[in-house]
Amino acid sequence: MKERIAVDKYSKALLRKVPEDVLAEELGEKYTDYRKRWHDAQTFKVRTPFPIHLDIELSYKCNLKCIMCPYGDPTYVHPAYKGQSLDTSRIKEIIKEGVPLGLSALRYNGLSEPLLEKSLVELIRYAKENGILDIFLTTNGMLLNKKMAIDLIESGLTHIMVSIDAATAETYNKIRVGGNYERVVKNVNRFLEIRENLGSQLPVFRLTYTKMQPNIGEVNAFVDMWKDKVDHIAIAGYLNNIQNKEQNDNLACTPLRPSAQTEFHCWQPWSRCTIFSNGDVFPCCMNYGRSTPVGNIFKEDLTSIWQSDRVRFIQDINRKGEYFKDPTCKACVSKRDIFEA
């Protein structure tokens, strides 16, 4: 497939393989239909009866303390359920509830490292066997050993995203505290080799690089290092997800454009929602919704939550560009470093 650069408001991606092309080839018409529904929701044309995509936080745990993450912010006030895992039987019930209503994709992530969860591969297989077309996973790659690589490739996973954020061990160690650069690089290369040996195109492999002050000088070196190996590379803007202002000021590298706060129309609440590890729900993929949930899956079904007046209000204000009418949406947009000129 022809290499190209794709640019959107959130990131710049170097694509060696276009993920949608690979998956359309592998999954056929069902995948094409799902992507059309996704596009219609993104452009506010369709209000779906159920989220098309779910972000499911398997646990509130991580093995690193990255400086741009709440785990790496010593002042961050974590919820009482830190360390808690989401009940796997309830996850399976949600999948069964959602697929007949159009649920087509999920990502087993939240504020967590999913490879810590022993149930992960089983849940990926369950999702695939029960009608989920597109299954995503974001990981720091530390636990991506040989067995895990084989299990993930054979499980039905369609996308894996590994976050490295550096082209040298020195910079990596400053950002991904507790990690091991050499191990992650080895894990990535081995994963790609195993996938090739198994004759599979899936999962599509993406490396992610969040651009911040400590690593802004290594972007080109990172791209040069990986562009001929992985399927695509995303250079993402920094998102302020922490509470320590001094720490944040030392990370952000792009001032927010004033016009961004008046032009922004967020499509996330129209297509996806997150289930946090205590069962709370918010119609977005960001951590900000954790403190203002719109419901809880242990108290009501997700269909009722998604179709509630509260969710429809959030959908409508974002369609109109009036995100500032909801305090959670306002906090999210105002703290972003992603609106680059």
**What would the pLDDT profile of 73-127 be if each residue is shown by its tens digit?**
888 889 999 999 999 999 999 999 999 999 999 999 999 999 999 999 999 999 9
Q: Report the pLDDT value the prediction gives residue 153, as an integer from 0 to 100.
A: 98
Lowest average pLDDT, out of 9-18, 90-99, 209-218, goes to 9-18
Residue range 216-235: mean pLDDT, rounded: 94
| Per-residue burial over 222-239, b = 16 or more CB atoms within 10 Å of its CB, e = otherwise | bbebbeeebbbbbbbbbb
Residue range 135-140: mean pLDDT, rounded: 98
Considering only residues 253 and 179, tell me which one the structure prediction assigns the higher pLDDT.
179
pLDDT band at 161 (very low <50, low <70, confident <90, very high): very high
Residues 113/64, Cβ–Cβ less than 8 Å: yes
Q: Of 148, 129, 158, nearest to 31 (Cα)?
A: 158
Top-confidence range, 129-133, 248-252, 325-329:
129-133
Burial-class residue 330 by CB neighbours within 10 Å (0-12, 13-18, 19+): middle
pLDDT band at 221 (very low <50, low <70, confident <90, very high): very high
Residue range 27-53: mean pLDDT, rounded: 96
Query: Is the backbone of residue 25 left (phi > 0), alpha (psi -120 to 50) or beta?
Result: alpha
Q: Report the pLDDT value the prediction gives residue 298, as an integer from 0 to 100.
A: 98
Q: Report the pLDDT value the prediction gives residue 10, as an integer from 0 to 100.
A: 38
Residues 23/31, Cβ–Cβ less than 8 Å: yes
CA distances from 339 to 7, 182, 197, 252 (A): 12, 32, 40, 12
Angle (CA) 78 82 83, round 5°:
155
pLDDT above 70 for 341: no
Give the span between the Cα atoms of 252 and 254, in whole angstroms: 6
Q: How many Cα neighbours within 13 Å face the side chain of 229? A: 15
Helix axes 309-319, 327-334, angle to 10 degrees: 40
pTM beyond cutoff 0.85? yes
Q: Report the pLDDT value the prediction gives residue 1, as an integer from 0 to 100.
A: 34
